[in-house]
């Protein structure tokens, strides 16, 4: 399924993004766009209106009701511009 492939590409782009490299950021934006386009297509083909589905999260996280979510679940540590600096610098294994 195309959508699953795009999610894989987005995942790889998230792992490899370099906030100092504009080309890297642009690539990440494109992968988000691709995922959104396929998600929109799947919703449309299924007769689902995405704007209606977003209502689930209009008040923030459905579990903790916070924006952003403060649930203590595993989170991906990203080193992206708009996030607070992370002290966690352990390198990830490169799975491809």
Summarize as ranges the residues that interact with Zn ion (CB under 5 A). 61, 63-64, 69, 71
The C-alpha angle with vertex 57 and arms to 55 and 58, in degrees rounded to 5, equals 65
User: Which phi and psi (to 5°) does residue 93 adopt?
Assistant: -70, 140
Distance CA 48, CA 63 (A): 23
Q: Which is nearer to Zn ion, 64 or 80 (CB)?
A: 64
Which residue minimizes CB distance to Zn ion? Answer: 61
Q: In whole angstroms, how close is the CB of 51 to Zn ion at the nearest point?
A: 22
Residue closer to Zn ion by CB (options 58, 92) is 58
In angstroms, what is the minimal distance from the CB of 60 to Zn ion?
A: 7
Give 20's DSSP letter: T
Looking at the Cβ atoms of 23 and 58, the one nearer to Zn ion is 58
What is the 8-class DSSP label of residue 18? Answer: -
CB of 12 to Zn ion, least distance (A): 26
**Distance between CA 42 and CA 71 in Å, rounded?**
29
């Amino acid at each position: 399924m195309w959508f699953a492939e795009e999610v894989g590409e987005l995942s790889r782009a998230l792992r490899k993004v370099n906030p100092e490299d504009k080309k890297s950021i642009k690539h990440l934006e494109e992968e988000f766009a691709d995922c959104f386009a396929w998600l929109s297509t799947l919703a449309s083909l299924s007769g689902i209106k995405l704007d209606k589905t977003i209502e689930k999260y209009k008040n923030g996280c459905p579990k903790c009701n916070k924006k952003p979510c403060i649930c203590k679940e595993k989170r991906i540590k990203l080193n992206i511009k708009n996030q607070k600096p992370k002290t966690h610098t352990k390198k990830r294994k490169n799975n491809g």
